């Protein structure tokens, strides 16, 4: 019984730590860039540049690998997805159209799918090796 409680607490802690790390990574990579770039033809892009998103993905990939390699795949998947979802909501919720909710839901579903797949690949590679 005591061992089960310890495992549950450890898994819960890994979810919270992964969520906090994902939230901090979002702030570090994307949180400071809040303006859109206006081009000479009047079109706009942004606010994020490709290198910022790539940096966030690579940072989170390292975090997911670390958690999965320590046998905490639920923490890697649920924590990372929760952190990104909260960060996206906080960052985009000032959109007056309300369409930010679709982006937040897409972030949640995409991060769940991506971290789940990455966790599965890492787990299967570790078993073979």
Confidence at residue 43, expressed as pLDDT on a 0 to 100 scale? 86
Confidence at residue 115, expressed as pLDDT on a 0 to 100 scale? 97
Confidence at residue 129, expressed as pLDDT on a 0 to 100 scale? 61
How far is the CA of 74 from the CAs of 17, 37, 112, in angstroms? 12, 38, 11
Give me the residues of the chain with pLDDT under 70, please: 129
Confidence at residue 8, expressed as pLDDT on a 0 to 100 scale? 84
């Amino acid at each position: 019984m005591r061992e089960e409680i310890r495992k549950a607490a450890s898994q819960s802690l890994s979810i919270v730590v992964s969520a906090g790390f994902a939230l901090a990574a979002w702030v570090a990579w994307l949180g400071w860039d809040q303006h859109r770039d206006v081009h000479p033809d009047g079109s706009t892009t942004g606010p994020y540049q490709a290198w910022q998103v790539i940096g966030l993905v690579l940072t989170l990939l390292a975090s997911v690998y670390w958690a999965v390699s320590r046998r905490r795949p639920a923490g890697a998947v649920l924590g990372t997805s929760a952190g990104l979802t909260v960060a996206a909501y906080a960052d985009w919720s000032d959109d007056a159209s309300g369409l930010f909710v679709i982006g937040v839901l897409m972030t949640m579903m995409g991060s769940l799918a991506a971290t789940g797949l990455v966790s599965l690949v890492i787990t299967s590679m570790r078993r073979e090796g």
